[in-house]
Each structure stands twice: as structure tokens, then as C-alpha cells.
Amino acid sequence: MFATSLRCLRCGRSATLEPSAYLCPHCGAGNGTTDPGILDVQYDYAEAASAFVASLSTGRHDIFRYLSLLPVSQPGDVLPAGGTPLVAAPRLADRLGLRALYLKDETRNPTRCLKDRATAIAVTIARASGYHDLYCASAGNAAISLAGFCAHQGLTCHAFVPRIASVTRLDWLRRYGARIHVSQGNYDQAFRESEEAGALEGWYSRNCAFNPYLVEGKKTVAFEIAEQLDWQVPDLVVAPVGDGCTLGATGKGFRELRTIGQTEHLPRLIGVQAEAIQPVVRRYQGRTPLETEEETLAASIAVQRPRNYLRLRAELRASHGTMLAVPDSELLEAQSLLSQESGIIPELTSAATLAGLLRLSTEQDLSGQSAVLIITGGRLDSNV
């Protein structure tokens, strides 16, 4: 294993690689007004580089293809996450005036969602460390992902969901046999409740914002995109933003590829939130986030207090990226457009990628550029 230590993204101090080293021992969880001390896995990149190249000829096509840049010593015997296709969408490219547009179809993961990449790491570490129970807070996808991987392994999944959780998502959780804890509040409250219960019971955490190893699984989406484009990185990579983990992880993945000499450039990261709940957009623009009562149909990014903001901010700055907000009406239009012109039906949250890029194209000339939309999930709720 080439992972060497953990480093706090807030205070810069180090911590040791323990399975349950969730937050900085110096900074802690933050208090809602300050950001939590998120830890980041460090690697010996000089050593990892050649192992990374060697691993490309193993024939594996799940996330463990990239074992040398993962915080585990061997592949987990878990549901195969990742290895999803990058699908050209020439009709949408024409509409946007782009040279090329690709959809990274994460709906083809085991439970239909990019979050399976993180779950694969969580379950691998939990198994190796002797845990039998895992927990997470989630509007649906992360919990379903954890429930599916736990079902495959015979582990117990404790899912903490907000008061307003979709019937479809609760159905998936039940089918997998998850223990469901319905909060009386929103996602942010469910998150707090999950952390309290997890600490009390000694369960393993699958909360991606706090458990530093999970982002490492998510970053493999960047490795795959780059490899599928023959290591020519696209100009733009677009993803929906809730806690900030997915796009932050994507940025880290592309940076690491450049560090080990596998690629030369970084793509500009474009993060998209729903207009109703856009704390990351506001903070990145130097404005104060609003605690709002407004709601969005895009449940997977309805996050009032983004816990991985420091990571995402660093990656946005490194890539000269930006953040955008779009109203639900544009999400719905983009969902329809993706379905009818790319053949891939995204969940509403993932349609934020196209909605954001359409918005960006009215502000900037994108002609001649290439872009990748990360279609993070494909589970359809009854109304969206």
C-alpha cells in the first residue's frame, strides 16, 4: 500500500492511518459555523506511479484497477463498483457548440449510483477491520448503496434518512433489508443523528464527508474518465454538488494523475447546485450561505451545511473551476433533454450537470471545448 498518512485539510496537521480515523484529532467536527477538520489521504506518489501503470494491464475493470492510489492493501471481495462507460453524446455536443460531450454513466454501478465507488472502499475496510455494522446518513443513494453492499456481504446497514424520503428509495432500502432510521428533520439532522448513533454503537462510518477513505473510492471516476480518453483530459468536468465530496474527489483524482505523470493538464471543475439550496455556490462567491426553508426536487443535493467544502474549494481553485446554481425548472428540462438526446435517463440531481453547462454556455464561449458530465445516479422517483 502506498498510502502513508492522513493530513487535515483545515489545520494541515497529520494523523495516522487508522480505519476509524474520521476527523482531524486536532480540529474535530466543527460547530456548524466552522468547517470540520476533514482528513485527506496522503500517498508516496513516487512509488505509486510505476505501480499505477503496471496495474493498467491487470484486466480488472472495477475501482480496484487503480489499487496503488487507494487506501487499501488489496481489492475487497465486494460488489464490483466502477468500470462504467463514457458515452459520447454528439447531439447534445452540437446543441452546446462543444467539440465533444461525454456522459460518464454512473447509473451503471451495482446500485445505480456513483456512491458505490465509496461504499466499496468502506465495506472493504470495515470487513478487514472486523466490523459487522455500518451506518450512513443519506437522502437515498448512499444508504441504498451501503445496504446493497452489506446485503452482498451479510453485514448490517443502518440507514439514517431525512423525514421527507422518497417512496422509491425507502423501497430499495427495505428490499435490501437495511435498518432504516427516519429522522424528524432534514438531511443535515439525519447526518447528526447518524454520527451520534454510530459513535455510541461503534458502527463503521459510511459518511463520505467525514470518513477520509471514501473520497478515495470516488476519485476513481476521474481515473476512468482520463483512461477512457487515452489520458487526454477534457476541458470541463461537471458534477452536481451536495456535501462537496464527489466533485472534490474528482478534482483530487485528476490532480493525482498529473502528479504521477500520467496526464499533463487538469480539467476545469464545474459544480452545480439547485437554486433553492446553494450554500457552496454562495460561499465560493464570497457570499454568506442562507439557512433557507426553500426546497428542491433534487433531493440528493439538498444539503444546507456542506461538510466537505474545504476540499471542494481547494480543487475548484486548483482547476480554475466554478460553481453555478440552476432552478428546478431547468433541472427538469435538462433531465428530459438528456433522456431524449443521449439515451441515458439521469435522476433529477444528475441532470444538474447539463443544466449547469447550458447555463455556463450562455455566459462563456464554450465552442471547441470538450466536456464530461458525471451522471451520478439513475434512480427515478415517482414525481421526478
Among 175, 287, 317, 320, binds a second copy (CB under 8 A): 175
Which of these segments, 31-39, 128-136, 143-151, 255-263, binds a second copy (CB under 8 A)? Answer: 143-151
Shortest CB 126 distance to a second copy, Å: 15
Identify which of residues 68 and 109 has a Cβ nearer to a second copy in the complex. Answer: 109
The answer to the question of residue 34 lying near a second copy (CB under 8 A) is: no
Q: Which stretch binds a second copy (CB under 8 A): 125-133, 214-222, 284-292, 341-349?
A: 341-349
Among 8, 98, 137, 344, which residue sits at the site for a second copy (rule: CB under 8 A)? Answer: 344
- DSSP letter for each residue of 153-213: HT-EEEEEE-SS--HHHHHHHHHTT-EEEE-SS-HHHHHHHHHHHHHHHTPEE--TTT-HH
What are the Cα distances from residue 2, in Å, to 62, 68, 270, 307?
Answer: 19, 6, 30, 27
SS3 329: helix
**Closest CB to a second copy among residues 61, 287:** 61
CA angle in degrees (0–180, nearest 5) for 189-191-192:
65
The piece of 142-150, 209-217, 281-289, 362-370 that touches a second copy (CB under 8 A) is 142-150
Cα 71–Cα 72–Cα 73 angle in degrees, nearest 5 = 130
> Would you call 245 helix, strand, or coil by DSSP?
helix
Beta bridge partner(s), residue 373: 103, 238
Q: Helix, strand, or coil here: 64?
A: helix
Q: Which stretch binds a second copy (CB under 8 A): 7-15, 30-38, 216-224, 340-348?
A: 340-348
Residue 78: closest CA among 145, 27, 136, 33: 145
From the CB of 91, what's the least distance to a second copy, in Å? 6
Give Cα 232 distance to the centre of its chain: 22
Amino acid at 271: G
Find the part of the chain contacting a second copy (CB under 8 A) among 152-160, 284-292, 293-301, 306-314: 152-160
Across the strands, what pairs with 38? 23
Nearer to a second copy, 171 or 294 (CB): 171
Closest approach, Cβ 88 to a second copy, in A, equals 8
At closest approach, how far in Å is the CB of 44 from a second copy? 29
- Closest of 342, 348, 338, 343 to residue 376, by C-alpha: 348
C-alpha cell of residue 223: 481515473
Nearer to a second copy, 241 or 371 (CB): 371
Q: Which residues inside 73-112 make contact with a second copy, applying CB under 8 A?
A: 77, 79-80, 83, 85, 87-89, 91, 105, 108-111
Window contacting a second copy (CB under 8 A); options: 145-153, 232-240, 248-256, 283-291: 145-153
| Cβ-contact 338, 306 below 8 angstroms | no
177 lies in the site for a second copy, by CB under 8 A:
yes
Residue with cell 496522503: 42
Q: Which of 160, 172, 191, 223 binds a second copy (CB under 8 A)?
A: 172
Contacting residues toward a second copy, per CB under 8 A: 61-62, 77, 79-80, 83, 85, 87-89, 91, 105, 108-111, 148-154, 171-172, 175-177, 336, 339-345, 380
